Structure 1
Amino acid sequence: MTELSYIKRETNPNPTATVIWLHGLGASGHDFEPVVPELGLPADAAVRFIFPHAPEMPVTVNGGLRMPAWYDIKAMDIDRVIDTEQLLQSAEAVSRLIEGELAQGIDSSRIVVAGFSQGGAVAYQVALSFAKPLAGLLGLSTYFATADTVEPSQANRELPIQVYHGVYDPIVPEALGQKSVAQFRELGYEPEYTTYPMDHSVCLEEIVAIGQFLRDRLKL
């Protein structure tokens, strides 16, 4: 996969922390850009937000239509049938974005990876396997597609993980959110799980909670 294009937004000059936030199927990096001012971060916090754009590819469950996607979804059964190789390629491309932040002087322990839906599945793979300790992992309305194959890095064995899900989600049923939490625990992690009365989306209460997670994990 070629290098990912992305939107970069900095809350103040000379950032000391980074959040890499992955969108869902058919969306773009612009999807979560408007959320930044709503997170309630301190006025003096210097955080770089990176919103990558997924490449366009045919998506089987959408009739082969080309759209932004981190990987192909071949069937929408309860466990999803996906192109795991494409997911791993996307994860590697996101890992290169993290490496780029390290090269700019951001410590790995001040980098949070977040993802919504498809982007969350990639975020799970990226954060657990990354070779240096990260600040945290956020999964929004997503599922753990590589739970059976991921090779967790020893550096991220204590990774703080927060999972959010809507109880009325018709696209990624809440059962998949619950399952991902169980899978994390089987791997030795201690994720926090929070639900909201919403569908396949985000809500204000969730955004406020994400802001608190970032303040806590990045010590803002």
Structure 2
Amino acid sequence: MEEEVIEIGSPFAAKRVILLHGLTGTATFIRPVAEYLYRRLGESYSFILPTAQIIKVKQFNGEPVHAWFDVKSSDFRREADVGGIFASSDRIASLIGKEISQGVNPEDIFLGGFSQGGVIALTTALLEPFAVAGVFALSSYLPLEEQLISQLTDASKDVPIFQAVSLKDEFISQEMSDRASEFLRARGNPVRVQKYDMKHEIRNRELNDVINWMQSLV
């Protein structure tokens, strides 16, 4: 069965934002975030919110939930589900391809995501053979497994990245966040890291920073 996809704004808007929810979430869960961004960015932007497939997640004792990839250990640095990450990345790349086929330029497409969604947003952008407008990853990280980083494209080194780090995050460690930003900067990506005194959550103050960052790129 086709998973839910929510669209906000005009299909003829100049710019697109593909926004991805976190583990156990859905498009409906992340919709208030998209609506907040849309109200402030204006009608020149439209939003596409896909929903992850339902899979059995090992960390949840095999319980089926919406997830972009399996979580095999509480330590996200171990046993990364590279196959699952690639599969979800391919799905989002197909959404990008559809927008491009309808006349949208890659440099007018932003990717964003929370937690697991941020992993897929980052991975997808870094695997594309062209540079998208930018990626914002909220309370997220980047798996650095060789199978993934060996396939990152040269064109994606030009992709600007906004990394929102939650200092009281219960799931994503500071070490994981730092490793991601250090890796991205080392390969040449323009990276802005903003840290917030909050837990694994989304707050308006970080969204306001995302808006300012997006507007600085156009």
The answer to whether TM tops 0.5 is: yes
CA offset at residue 145 of structure 1? Answer: 1.2
Q: How many angstroms apart in 2 are the aligned matches of 1:76 and 1:186?
A: 27
Figure out how many residues of one structure are paired with residues of the other and give that number: 215
Determine which structure has greater relative contact order: mean sequence separation of CA pairs < 8 Å that are 6+ residues apart, divided by chain length. Answer: 1
TM-score normalised to the size of structure 1?
0.90
Residue 14 (structure 2) pairs with residue 6 (structure 1): no
* Equivalent position amino acid for 2:6 in 1: I
CA offset at residue 212 of structure 1? Answer: 1.4
Asked if structure 2 preserves the Cα contact closer than 8 Å seen for 1:25 and 1:117, the reply is yes
Give the structure 2 partner of residue 193 of structure 1. Answer: 193
Identity %: 26
Residue 45 (structure 2) pairs with residue 16 (structure 1): no
Q: How many angstroms apart in 1 are the aligned matches of 2:131 and 2:108?
A: 9
Give the structure 2 partner of residue 85 of structure 1. Answer: 83
- Structure with more helix by fraction: 2
Per-residue deviation, residues 89-143 of structure 1 (Å, max 9, x unmatched): 1000100000011112111100011111111111111001111221001111111
Give the structure 1 partner of residue 67 of structure 2. Answer: 69
CA offset at residue 36 of structure 1? Answer: 3.2
Give the structure 2 partner of residue 108 of structure 1. Answer: 106
Q: How many angstroms apart in 1 are the aligned matches of 2:33 and 2:188?
A: 31
Give the structure 2 partner of residue 138 of structure 1. Answer: 136
Q: How many angstroms apart in 1 are the aligned matches of 2:2 and 2:160?
A: 28
Give the structure 1 partner of residue 46 of structure 2. Answer: 48
Which segments of 5 or more consecutive residues in structure 1 lack a partner in the other structure?
none
Asked if structure 2 preserves the Cα contact closer than 8 Å seen for 1:25 and 1:68, the reply is yes
Q: How many angstroms apart in 2 are the aligned matches of 1:32 and 1:56?
A: 16
TM-score normalised to the size of structure 2?
0.91
Per-residue deviation, residues 162-189 of structure 1 (Å, max 9, x unmatched): 1001100011123211111012123232
Q: How many angstroms apart in 2 are the aligned matches of 1:171 and 1:17?
A: 32
Give the structure 2 partner of residue 165 of structure 1. Answer: 165
**Superposition RMSD in Å:** 1.8
Asked if structure 1 preserves the Cα contact closer than 8 Å seen for 2:163 and 2:193, the reply is yes
* Equivalent position amino acid for 1:108 in 2: P
* Equivalent position amino acid for 2:126 in 1: L
